[in-house]
Amino acid sequence: MNSAPVFKSGRVNVQPNNYWSGTEYAPNTSNAWNFNFNNGNQNNNNKTNGFYAWAVRPGG
């Protein structure tokens, strides 16, 4: 198998696609980091790309 498994549970169904990080790419602030849940790659892309977003809140 050459792709990372997709995380699924009773409450979460993650799409096998790119998700934005909340972190800008410092060398080019027009870009931000993203993570691909299909293949496990991390990359930076222009913020105008239409990737998924995952809302999170601080733990505690």
Confidence of residue 13 (pLDDT cuts 50, 70, 90): confident
Comparing 13 with 4, the larger pLDDT belongs to 13
The answer, as to whether pTM is greater than 0.75, is no
Provide the sign of the torsion angle of the four alpha carbons 60, 43, 24, 46, taken in this order. negative
Listed by start position, the domains of the chain span 1-55
Reported as a single tens digit per residue, the pLDDT across 22-51 is 899 999 999 999 999 889 999 999 999 999
Task: Calculate the alpha carbon distances from 16 to 3, 6, 33, 54, 58 in Å.
Answer: 10, 6, 17, 13, 25
